[in-house]
Amino acid sequence: MTAERFPEFPEPADLSEDELRALLERAVPQLPAPAQRLERVKEKAARRRRRRVAGVSATAVVAVAAAGLVLPGLRDGGTTGSPAPPAVSRLAPPASGSSTASGAATDRREPTPTATGPMTGPATGPPAAATAVVRHHYPELSGLDLMLPADWGTLTAPKTGAVFTSSQDLGLPTDGCVTPLDGFCTPLARTLEPGGVLIMMTLQHNKLMADKFRSSARPATPSEVVGACRTVGGTAQTTAAITDTAATDVIVQVSVCLARPAKGQQEQLDDALTNAAFS
């Protein structure tokens, strides 16, 4: 086996100073100049600083965007939370049908809202606003006269002969109030607002019952709130039987549905029914 031969290097003692320097330079890699190293260090530091600044900026943008989503009130100049949405009136179809195109509506003016009372029970709110009261004449009800607010409208259901008056817009349902819920038709264009009133009146002829009601001088009395009244927002209900002082057989049955009546409103309606007259 032949022994492996290694390259021979001259002995350091046999080399001149220049030859020794060249041998060392070939054996040991030359390091970059100090100036180059400093430049590279500066470049690395600058790159790290730029990356750090970019990361902080991105985080700030995300935080601001999140704050805008979570706290829209701050974005719009508010202090806390989001601004309250504008109030929107909740509309409802006529309580006894779906159409308001038919019927003999003599007045459909929008009422002026009155002061509100509690949700249920007797009225405890501020006094009712002063409203002009005029004589309302109902020839379909044997010439009944009621003193009611001037801006109230009237509607007649030809199929049943029922007459309605209300502080809000009226609209006869498609069935003409022939099949009212709980015997009380509610031909309203929308639900009753606080202080709203709907009155249903029907004419009957019964001498015996008319004499009985006349002798008792029965005033308007509170009654149970039926489902039809509750459906249109009613919280109180009153009934009355109006008779003619001329001892006729005429009886006008009255049912009044009220929504959160104001102080004094119930009494004003009771007085109007109690002091009704025929002409």
Q: What pTM, to 2 d.p., does this model score?
A: 0.56
Interval 104-118 mean pLDDT: 38
Q: Look at residue 254 and give its three-state secondary structure.
A: strand
Cβ atoms of 174 and 98 closer than 8 Å: yes
More confident residue, 66 or 202: 202
Contacts of 255 (CB under 8 A, 6+ apart): 184, 199, 200, 201, 223, 237, 238, 239
- Exposed (0-12), middle (13-18) or buried (19+): which is 116, by Cβ within 10 Å? middle
The amino acid at residue 227 is: G
Concatenated DSSP letters for 99-133? --SBSEES--PPPPPPPP--SSSS--SSBPPP--E
Show the tokens assigned to 180. 């009212």
Cβ atoms of 153 and 105 closer than 8 Å: yes
Each residue's pLDDT tens digit, 195-226:
999 999 999 999 999 999 888 766 788 999 99
Helix, strand, coil percentages, rounded to 5, for the chain: 30, 20, 50
Each residue's pLDDT tens digit, 158-200:
999 999 999 999 999 888 999 888 889 999 999 999 999 999 9
Instruction: Say how far apart CA 144 and CA 275 lie, in whole Å.
Output: 11
Give pLDDT, residue 217: 66
